[in-house]
Amino acid sequence: MKWVTREHAKVDRIACPWLIKNFVDEDAEFLFVSPEEVMETARKQNAIPFDVPNIELGHHGEECSFDAIVKKYGLDKKDRALAEVAKIVRGADTPNRTLTPQSEGLLAIAYGFSMNAKDDYDNMSKQFHVYDALYSFCKWKLQHSN
């Protein structure tokens, strides 16, 4: 399936592709376009839009697009570590930077990768390792918190 969002990704627009590839659609293809082209591209390419205003897989209240995808696919009910990653991403991608101790650091890392990557695809390939590490950390933290 194709998925489309705005170009120049930082936190949520990299975290969401990681989430989708690992837990929703391993064959997902991502398109990054200008904000004004997202909905038209979604229509023309039969792609699922995410992280744009006024759509199902976007920000809602205090939650970000990562949360919307987790909820739509029921991933938080299956995987507590993924629910923890969602909190970290939410804190990094919304004004609630103190939601988790890791959120502010994730924001800094995401912006740094965005500035150093040659394009959104390069950025995505580099940052996926960050989300792999956060997910492993959250699994470890849950195992050792009992």
- What are the two backbone dihedrals, phi and then psi, of residue 117, each rounded to the nearest 5 degrees? -85, 150
Q: Which of 134, 113, 132 is nearest to 18 (CA)?
A: 132
Cα–Cα–Cα angle for 91, 119, 55, nearest 5°?
Answer: 50
- Stretch 81-102: mean pLDDT: 96
Identify the three-state secondary structure at position 135: helix
| pLDDT > 70? residue 146 | no
Task: Copy the structure tokens of residue 74.
Answer: 């029921």
Q: Is 82 helix (H, G, I), strand (E, B) or coil?
A: helix
pLDDT score for 41: 98
Cα gap 115→66, rounded to integer Å:
22
The per-residue pLDDT for range 123-135, each reduced to its tens digit, is 999 999 999 999 9
* Average confidence (pLDDT) over 35-62: 97
